[in-house]
Structure formats: C-alpha cells, structure tokens
Structure 1
Amino acid sequence: MSSFRQENSPRMNTFRTRKGYGRFPLKSFLTFFLLVILAVIGPWLYPESLSQVTDESLHPPTLRHIFGTDIHGRDLFVRILFGARISFSVGLSGSLISLLVGVSYGAIAAYAGGKVERIMMQIVDLLYSLPVLVFVIVLIALFEKPLRAILYQAHLGYLLPYSRIILLLVGLGLVEWLTMARVVRSRVLVLKEALFVQAAKVLGQNSLNILLKHILPNLAGLVAVYLTLTIPTVILEESFLSFLGLGVEPPTSSLGSLLSDGANTINPIKISWWLLFFPGLYLSLALWSLNVFGEWLRDKLDPQARSASQQ
C-alpha cells in the first residue's frame, strides 16, 4: 500500500495543484460573478450619471468618485459599469453566434464525410488564413451605412446608436466559429462510429434524427468548454477594435473605448493614470477569471484534455 501511494501521489498532487485544474476555481468564479453583477446592476443604480457632465474634470480617485472622473467630469466607475455591460453583451452574443455556426458546420461536415467533408474543411482552412480583425473592419466599413438605412426604414431608429455593435457581434461571431467547427468535427468523427449510433442506423433512423438525438447531446460538455473560452476572446477583440476607434460609437462606451479615451487624455503635463488603470484592471480581471474557469471546465468535461493533462 505504501509503494502504491509513493508511486501515484506525485502525479495526483501535480494534477491537483495545476492552477486550480483539480478543484473548483472559486476565486476566479466569484471574481467574474462580481464583475457581471456590477455591470448588470450598476447602471440601474446610477441611471443619470453616465451623461452627467460636471466641472470636476480629471479628478483623481476620491471617496466621492472612487475611480476618479474623466475629462468631462463624469464618474469613471459608472462609465466602466456601463462599458462592461456592452463588452460582456458583445462577448456573449458573438460567442453564441460562433457556437451555432461552428457546431452546425462541424457536425454536418463530419457526418456527411467524403468529398463534402473535404470541401467544407478546405473552406475552414481558407478562412483561417484571413486576418480576423481585418475581416471585421471590412464588414463594418461595407455594411454600417446599409444597416443604418434598413433600421431607419424599419422604424427601428432606437437601434441606430447600436448599429456598429450589431455588426461587431455578427462579425466576431462569424470568424470565431472556425475553431469550434474543427473541434466538433473531430469529436463527431469518433461518435458516428460508436455502437449506439450504429444501432440507431440499423433501426432505420434518418441522419437528422441521429445528429439531433444521439450525437449533439454528447457534444454538450465540449461545447460548454469552448463557449467559455470563446467569450474572453471575443471580449478582447471587441475591446481592441473599440480602442482603435472602430468599435462602439459615442456616447455608448465599452471597456476598449474607455481605454482609448484614457490614452488620448494622457499628456506630459498631467498624467491621469486612473483613466487607463481602472478600465484595464476591470478588463484584465474579466479575461483572467473567464480563462481560468474555462481551463478548469475543459479539464473536467473534455476527456481528451483531462487525459493529456494527467500524462
């Protein structure tokens, strides 16, 4: 018994201590939960503070304004909460679009097999060669004005300030599905040879029924893992585009546009450090907590990732 413990304990201890892989990452989960709650509830608590311009321009953090104020005297803490709501919404919506497209595309390609699979995966390889951010930028440049015209003609004028956000989440969703499609295809190739799938074929079930009832339910864990890991990627890409001025439009703000405002305000005479520090901290904590939780989830729900980590 002692030899068994000596032989296996190093491996087990390594597995348990790998940055929370062996146990629930409570700190990262609570961190992200708190950030989301603040982003959801905060704007309701301060409904008028976002557009309230005061003479307290560029004041450092105080008890009254815990994150300081921006160049227009607006409370930075409130602006961060509003911006986080936009960033999280784009991240979740874009990830759901990528999930829908990627799972459908990968499952159909794998189950069809043959020439259909080869052609579909060659398309994926081709799209992988395209720069993601360039694609989104071109999408915004080509379709922003037509989308505004459509919204106006459809009497949806209240959506006009969010036209670029709509294009952002659609564009990011349409480029982030490629990895999901590849992973789903690999798993479906294994599942379609499983005994329960072969039994369903013998019983005369059609391909659509087999996909919906037998294969897709077995992808739930895999999909949950990659959805969790896709959300921070989309949030980061949206923040980068907004930082460049290609994301959300004023007066709407996201974490990326707040970072851009802070960078534009900095000058040699007065460095308003809080305009960059606090939006960057909020964004970093959100990305860190999501990635840690996603890695733990992958270790728990993806057998291949779990076996690889134990080797």
Structure 2
Amino acid sequence: MKPVILWSDALIFLLVAALVLFFWRLRRDPQTRDRWRQVFASRLGMAAFTVILAYVGVALLDSLHFRRALPPPDGVSTGEVFYDNQVSSVLDTLTAGMGERFERTYSAPFALRSFEKQTLKDEAGNTVRDFPPLRHAGAQLADPTEKWADVVRRSAPALGGGLALAVLLILPQWWLLRGSSLPWASSWLVQGILACTAVWLVSISRHYHVLGTDLGGADVLYQSLKGVRTGVLIGALSTLIMLPIAVTLGVCAGYFKGWVDDAVQYLYTTLSSIPGILLIAAAVLLFQVYIDLNPDAFPTGLEKADAKFIALCFILGVTSWSTLCRLIRAETLKISQLGYVQAAHAFGVSHGRILLRHILPNTVHIILITFVLDFSALVLAEAVLSYIGVGVDPSMGSWGNMINGARSELSREPAIWWTLSGAFLFMFLLVLSANLFADLVRDAFDPRTRLGPEAA
C-alpha cells in the first residue's frame, strides 16, 4: 500500500499531539490538576469523556489514508507497482468492506428486498412489478423467513468477540489504575458497551444493512461512521483557529485599553452585526470559485474536497471569535486592576511578562469552558451549513450531507426515515457527551461555582 497524507490528516494528528502535550504540562500545576480531578471524579464526566475519546479514535482511524497496491496485469512481468486510484482508510478496512456493498436504491434496516418496486420477470417469464431482492443483504439465507433467527444466531459470536475485545482493552487499565480513587468503573462499562456494539455492528453488517441504504444504495451505517471524522475535525479545528484570535485580541483590549480597546470593540461589534450564516456562505462560495478557477492546484477530487473542508474550518473559526473575545476582555479588565498586577507595574515588570505570568493563566478557565462548549455548537453548525448547501463537499462523509439528502425523503409515503435517523443518532451522542462534559468543566473551572457532592 502507499500512504496518503491529506492536510486534514496532518492537522488532526497535530491536534491530538498538542492536546496530549497540553494536558501533560497541566499536570505540573497542582490547582489545575485538582480541578480536573473534580471533573473526572464524577461518574457522568468519566462516561462522557470515554464516549468523546471513542469518537476521536474513530476519527483517527479514518484519517490514516492509503492506496492499495494493484496486482500485476496477466502475462506482464514488471517490477513497477501500480496503486489503486481510490483512497481508503484504516476504518474502511476494519469495517470489512461495508462501504463497498451497494444496492440499487433504498432499502429499510434489516430488509431483504428493495424499498421501491421495479419491473421484473417471474419464473414463467411474465413482466411484473415487485420489490426485487437485495444483492448483499440476506444472500446467505435459503429461506427469507429465517432472517431474525439468523440475526440472533450470528449475534452470539459477535457479542462474544466484543466482550473479548472489551477485556483486552479494560484489563491493562484495571491493572495500572486499580488503586485510583476515580470512578474508572464507569469508563470501563462504557468501553465494554461500545466494544460489543462496534463488533456486533461490523459482524452483522457483513450480511445485512443494519441502518438500511440511501438513494444510491450506500450503507447508511457506513456513511454515519464516515461522518464522525468530519464532525470531530470541524468542531476541534474551528475552535482552535478561533482561540488564538479571541485570546490575543481580548487580552490586548482589556490590558492596554485606550485606542487598542476601541479598535477591538469596533471589530467584534461589526462582525457580530453581520448575519453569521450569510457571512460563512459568502466566504465558502468565494473559496469554491477559487477552486473552480485553479483546477491544477487540486488534481484529485479527494484533495479538492479536503481543501474545501479545511477552508470551512478556517471560516468558522474566523467568524466565531467575538463572544470569547468579549469574555476575555472583561476578565482581563478585572485582573489588570488587582493588587499583584499593580505591584508588578510598580517594580517595572515588562508588559509581556505580566501578560504571560499573570493575565493569561487567570483566563485559562474561560478558554477551557469555551472550547468544550463551542465544540458541540460547531458540530451542529456544520449540519446546518450542509443542509443549506454551503457545508463540506458532497463527496465527503458528513452528517449534514446526510440530513440534507434526507429532507425530501420524509415527505414520501411511506417515509424514508432511516437516513435521517442514522445521522441524528451519531450526532446526538457526540453533542450530548460534549455538552455534559462541558457542564462539568464549567463547574470545576469557573471560580463562581464548584462541583457539589451530588454531581458524583
């Protein structure tokens, strides 16, 4: 195989490395370490963080791209290796070809026949209108009435494999953390449920479409899994692009005051006066024009979709910094009047040292709270933008694209509900976990609140 590194792949691994380094350095601060311990002392916080890590793990697996080596042509001996034009990921391999099993069109979850009638010929050669059997779902069944018995029969070894995977994951953790006072059992329970569910879904999907198929016959479960990478990346990258802008301008405005404060207030007041959706849509469309006018810069469709995705993350970050900037400006105004900052001025300490040693460390709680809160908001924003047609490229897996494609399906009779349900289920679980974790982080780091014993 030949590795393929996209810009978004490099960014997500740099992001994970930066977060690991950030939390590792935070361990040196006893006060910060104690506050994080308060977050993870809650069973709810431990469970929510485990779900978030599972989504990040799926996104990382889907960011390891490669091109498979093709077998040499028959009768040709050559030392040159040819590679497939299609770019795959490790997630595609682990899902056992779920994305390669296409049907003709819609099919309901666990269905054996297509959702739409087609013109067929019966055994006598007569032309009839009927629901044709699916090519992949239930192909192993001799009698269609044995479908659910077959599902139950295949579920037992799949769940057994999931339990074995859960044991392999949890046993080393238990050995290393058995003396810890944190509620690791909550995390281990969630890990066990996720491992069993993942193995069961992959195993059963080899023989059935668990969440049905869409208009093009693609597996809805596979599309939902491919949307995980988009959701995690757009939430994290957009927030990280927004943070330096908001922190720099907010701290400068609150510390230097005067014309600097006036200029920063003018910037975010003007930005807040422009409807956000219209501003983002205009920027995305301008970048799309640039892509169309420079086709040589993006030789493949995947690179074009990746460039548009990175641009969308940048645009979301640049247009969403005003709220955090206001908060940091107000906090900096308060901190700059405290006694120890005034004493530093009296001793002739430089502005840069005061900002780095006294101002920024005391705004970390606002930055952390905003990061976890804005993450879920930006995941939902991607769905809204894709729904109105200015989100990620249609060729890229995205929950927003799934919802956009499902809006006309709900008006059918009977309604096609499973495409929307697949995107909703995966997005709901990520956003709910992020919001629950954000509430606990806010309670732990906000000086005005503290975690109560009932939260655990």
Normalising by structure 1, we get a TM-score of 0.82
Identify, as 1 or 2, the structure richer in helix. Answer: 1
Could you say which residue in structure 2 is the equivalent of 1:11?
A: none
Could you say which residue in structure 2 is the equivalent of 1:285?
A: 429
- What's the CA shift for 1:306? 4.9
Could you say which residue in structure 2 is the equivalent of 1:9?
A: none
Equivalent of residue 256 in structure 1, options 372, 376, 400: 400
- What's the CA shift for 1:153? 4.3
Could you say which residue in structure 2 is the equivalent of 1:234?
A: 378
Greater shift in the superposed pair: 40-49 or 270-279: 40-49
Equivalent of residue 271 in structure 2, options 117, 127, 130: 127
Residue deviations 1:224-247 (CA, integer Å, cap 9, x gap): 111110111111111111122211
- What's the CA shift for 1:269? 3.7
Greater shift in the superposed pair: 132-141 or 187-196: 187-196
- What's the CA shift for 1:52? 2.5
2:104 and 2:291 map into 1 onto residues whose CA distance is 38
Gaps of 5+ in 1: 1-19
1:50 and 1:152 map into 2 onto residues whose CA distance is 33
Equivalent of residue 44 in structure 2, options 10, 21, 25: 25
Corresponding letter in the other structure for 1:59: S
Query: Quick check: 1:34 aligned with 2:37?
Result: no
- What's the CA shift for 1:51? 5.4
2:98 and 2:296 map into 1 onto residues whose CA distance is 26
> Which residues in structure 2 correspond to 1:2-21 (within 5 Å)?
none
> Which residues in structure 2 correspond to 1:18-167 (within 5 Å)?
23=42, 25-26=44-45, 27-41=47-61, 44-47=90-93, 49=97, 52=100, 54-55=102-103, 57-62=105-110, 63=204, 64-147=208-291, 152-153=296-297, 159-167=303-311
Could you say which residue in structure 1 is the equivalent of 2:4?
A: none
Greater shift in the superposed pair: 73-82 or 142-151: 142-151
Does the 8 Å CA contact 2:252/2:260 hold for their aligned counterparts? no
- Report the CA distance shift for 1:293/1:83 in structure 2 as closer, same or farther (over 3 A): same
- What's the CA shift for 1:123? 2.5
Residue deviations 1:35-89 (CA, integer Å, cap 9, x gap): 3334444652324847525226322223432222222222211211111211210
1:239 and 1:85 map into 2 onto residues whose CA distance is 13
Corresponding letter in the other structure for 1:77: L
Q: Paired residues, what number? A: 288
- What's the CA shift for 1:157? 8.0
Greater shift in the superposed pair: 114-123 or 227-236: 114-123
SS at match of 1:90: helix
- Report the CA distance shift for 1:229/1:88 in structure 2 as closer, same or farther (over 3 A): same
Residue deviations 1:81-138 (CA, integer Å, cap 9, x gap): 1112112101110011111111111001111112321332132122212111111001
**Higher relative CO (CA 8 A, sep ≥ 6), structure 1 or 2?**
1
Task: Provide runs of 4+ in structure 1 moved above 6 Å.
Answer: 154-157
Residue deviations 1:140-170 (CA, integer Å, cap 9, x gap): 1223222565684498986322232122111
Does the 8 Å CA contact 1:148/1:163 hold for their aligned counterparts? no
Could you say which residue in structure 1 is the equivalent of 2:365?
A: 221
- Report the CA distance shift for 1:120/1:288 in structure 2 as closer, same or farther (over 3 A): same
Please identify the structure whose Cα radius of gyration is greater.
2
Does the 8 Å CA contact 1:49/1:75 hold for their aligned counterparts? no
Equivalent of residue 182 in structure 1, options 279, 301, 326: 326
SS at match of 1:35: helix
Residue deviations 1:198-244 (CA, integer Å, cap 9, x gap): 23223322212221232112222221111110111111111111122
Identify, as 1 or 2, the structure richer in strand. Answer: 2
Corresponding letter in the other structure for 2:279: F
Does the 8 Å CA contact 2:285/2:390 hold for their aligned counterparts? no
SS at match of 1:74: coil
1:251 and 1:218 map into 2 onto residues whose CA distance is 44
- Report the CA distance shift for 1:147/1:199 in structure 2 as closer, same or farther (over 3 A): farther
1:270 and 1:251 map into 2 onto residues whose CA distance is 28
Greater shift in the superposed pair: 158-167 or 175-184: 158-167
1:156 and 1:71 map into 2 onto residues whose CA distance is 25
Does the 8 Å CA contact 1:176/1:230 hold for their aligned counterparts? no
Gaps of 5+ in 2: 1-38, 63-88, 111-203, 452-456
Corresponding letter in the other structure for 1:30: T
RMSD (Å) for aligned C-alpha atoms: 2.8
Greater shift in the superposed pair: 206-215 or 234-243: 206-215
Corresponding letter in the other structure for 1:177: W
Normalising by structure 2, we get a TM-score of 0.58
1:199 and 1:158 map into 2 onto residues whose CA distance is 56
